[in-house]
Amino acid sequence: MQEFFKSLSFAEIILFSLLLFAFFWQIFYYLYFFGRIFFFREKAIPDSSHPPVSVIICARNEEENLRENLNFVAEQQYPEYEVIVVNDCSEDETGEILKDYAARYKHFRFTTIKKDEKFSHGKKLAVMVGIKAAKYDTLLFTDADCKPQSPLWLKKMAGMLNEEQEICLGYSGFHRKRGFLNIFLRYDAFFIAMHYLSFAMAGKTYMGVGRNLAYRKHLFFDNKGFARHLDLDSGDDDLFINEVATRTNSVVSLSHEAQTRSAAPAQFSRWMRQKKRHRSTFPRYKASHKFWLSVEPVTRLLFYSAFITLLFFTPYYYVPVGIFVLRLILLLMVNYKWSRRLNEKDLFLFSPVSDFLSIFTGLILVYRSIFGTKQTAWK
């Protein structure tokens, strides 16, 4: 070993040092955060845990999605709940569809925000209208394009809440379709879920997704709702949770029955616009969250850069290859476990490919966030 280090050039020493530095950070991250899935046990839901629930959906020009998905929300196996849809300035047949549902289901209600030429608004206004209209303290949020994967969705999400745990984070993935783009976007959603769910397991809850999120109504009003970030179009889910979550008031639901799914964007450019909008909230996260969320992608970029460079510039190529294989084994083990828990089994073998390719999409996203033009969108 001593002879090995003596034979290295200064440049090789630097590259090996960078590779090992990135490798150990990656191993720590996978074990401390993602590795919690190996020891996670879903909290048992008592049979008596059926708090009345208000399901809130915000819709803008969602006639097709409402026709396809709303039945699955309105026909949950749950003793007492209401469904509230906020029709936010729709110009299609959304209003007529909602009238039909209101006539069919006694527990279904809707409210309408009319378009004002002098005033434009984002999704947060619609969310606030829905929350104020809710009769019950337990709120469950999803989107018009999301389909609950089970008639027990309400029970598996709302039933997790109690006096101490007032936030429940659920998983919302994309529907499976053919094509490389679909599997890449599905893996991205899956990988993001690995982050926010494992962070919550570690007592570092930093976000939720509005496609499948439950929390107490009083938590919203006690913390002045979206007042701290009304200037941003995004943040109705992640920034709010980032502000109000503590080490003890959050819980996750990984049950297959607690999931929702929606259609993935059909174009890569549309997905990138969504990613850019979502990333606009990152600077507002707590400092500790920003640090830990930056560790993984930065050290992954450093790891691959040092690894590839060493393959071409050192005769001891077998050393970086061995380090690469060790990380790959851990990555596959962790992704295998998560893919089973989140019912995304086909994503397991794709994980090494996406692990590498997502570096480039991340760099593009950072570039566009810094130098691109600001885009306003409802969701």
Instruction: Report how far residue 25's alpha carbon sits from residue 91's, in angstroms, rounded to the nearest whole number.
Output: 50
Ordered strands of the 172-174 beta sheet: 147-148, 260-262, 172-174
Residue 232 has a pLDDT of: 86
CA distances from 286 to 239, 282, 299 (A): 9, 9, 20
Instruction: Report how far residue 260's alpha carbon sits from residue 109's, in angstroms, rounded to the nearest whole number.
Output: 21
> Hunting for tokens 């947060």 — which residue is that?
124
Q: Which residues pair with 174 in a beta bridge?
A: 262
E strands present in the chain: 53-59, 81-88, 108-113, 138-143, 147-148, 167-170, 172-174, 213-216, 250-253, 260-262
Contact 343, 261 (CB under 8 A): no
What is the per-residue burial (b if ≥16 Cβ within 10 Å, else e) of 265-302? beeeeebbbbbbbbebbbebbeeebeebbeebeebbeb
Length of the chain: 379
Contact 240, 319 (CB under 8 A): no
Contact 156, 257 (CB under 8 A): yes
Instruction: Report how far residue 369's alpha carbon sits from residue 363's, in angstroms, rounded to the nearest whole number.
Output: 10
Architecture of domain 53-266: Alpha-Beta Complex (3.90)
Contact 147, 134 (CB under 8 A): no
Instruction: Report how far residue 372's alpha carbon sits from residue 212's, in angstroms, rounded to the nearest whole number.
Output: 30
Quick: pLDDT tens for 119-141: 778 899 999 999 999 999 999 99
Of 29-38, 79-88, 117-126, 305-314, which range is least confident? 117-126
Question: How many Cβ atoms sit within 10 Å of the Cβ of residue 22?
Answer: 22
Residue 343 has pLDDT above 60, yes or no: yes
Residue 5 has a pLDDT of: 65
Q: Which residues contact 231 (CB under 8 A, 6 or more apart)?
A: none
Contact 140, 260 (CB under 8 A): no
Residue 153 has a pLDDT of: 97
Residue 378 has a pLDDT of: 58
Q: Which two tokens stand for residue 326?
A: 């060790």
Q: Residues 60-65: what's their mean pLDDT?
A: 95
Instruction: Indicate the burial class of 27 (C-beta count within 10 angstroms; 0-12, 13-18, 19 or more).
Output: middle
Instruction: Report how far residue 320's alpha carbon sits from residue 304's, in angstroms, rounded to the nearest whole number.
Output: 10
CA distances from 333 to 29, 37, 299 (A): 14, 11, 19
Between 13 and 120, the more confident residue is: 13
- pLDDT above 90 covers a percentage of the chain that reads 80
Composition of the chain by helix, strand, coil, percent to 5: 55, 15, 35
Write out 50-74 in H/E/C secondary structure: CCCEEEEEEECCCHHHHHHHHHHHH
Which of the four pLDDT bands, split at 50, 70 and 90, describes residue 4?
low
Residue 39 has a pLDDT of: 95
Residue 374 has pLDDT above 60, yes or no: no
- Whether pTM > 0.85 for this model: the answer is yes
* Mean pLDDT (the chain, rounded): 92
Instruction: Report how far residue 209's alpha carbon sits from residue 236's, in angstroms, rounded to the nearest whole number.
Output: 9
Which of the four pLDDT bands, split at 50, 70 and 90, describes residue 372?
low
Residue 8 has pLDDT above 90, yes or no: no
**CATH 3.90.550.10 residue window(s) in the chain:** 53-266
